[in-house]
Amino acid sequence: MEEHRQPFRERVPFDGQEVLVLAEAIRIAEELISDHYKISTSQWKRYRYDIQSLKDLHGEEITDEAFAQIRRYAFPPRDKILASRHGDYFKICLQDHVIRRALTRDAHLSLLPLATYIVTHELIHVVRFARFLQRFEAPERERDAEEARVHRETIDLLQDLKIPGMEAVLSAFGACRFMETFVTDQGDGQVSH
């Protein structure tokens, strides 16, 4: 009997078990980034970000072209006394359907190592943006150099990680140039790429 598979173009969110695997990947990635950048638990609060998968994304946060989309939102301060409300907020929008497509296409890949790879890569971007080590909006040449830098750093962080299947992920995506798109919502309905 032939197994029923969803068409690649269909945007199906991760199921409950996949969400648990994704949560573990996020935990691993945050721990790696904390150790690498020397970020304490209390310092993480400075990095205003969230990671969401397909079921929690709005239409403009969904793409079919990348594993993730980093959106930068500028929230106008609601209360001028609270300085913590000023600044950029980064939303890592994981594209479940694109990740699933890669897993279906390459049977030797599995979700935990691939999700760990993707989240680690995206969190490196967030830290670099938040620390002003890289401009979010940059010319293409600068973005290409940054992507290469983050890609190398991601590989370096993950190459010794003892997760079954990580070697296959690093091998499959070792030459990958882009994993995400970047979009800024300027708080006034204007969006720039």
pLDDT value of position 182: 52
Angle at 7 between CA 6 and CA 13, to 5 degrees: 55
H or E segment and range at residue 92: strand 88-94
Lowest mean per-residue pLDDT among 36-45, 73-82, 88-97, 146-155? 73-82
Residue pLDDT, tens place only, 161-181: 999 999 999 988 876 655 555
- Which of the two residues, 21 and 138, has the higher pLDDT score? 21
pLDDT value of position 9: 63
Structure tokens, 170: 């690093």
Q: Which residue has the tokens 């293409």?
A: 140
Predicted confidence band of residue 68 (pLDDT cuts 50, 70, 90)? very high
Contact 187, 76 (CB under 8 A): yes
Contact 114, 169 (CB under 8 A): yes
Q: How far apart are CA 94 and CA 180, in angstroms?
A: 9
| CA 139 to chain CA centroid, nearest Å | 21
pLDDT > 90 in the chain, percent: 52
What are the percentages of helix, strand and coil residues in the chain, rounded to 5? Answer: 50, 15, 40
Residue pLDDT, tens place only, 73-86: 876 334 343 445 55
Residue pLDDT, tens place only, 89-132: 889 999 999 999 999 998 899 999 999 999 999 999 999 888 88
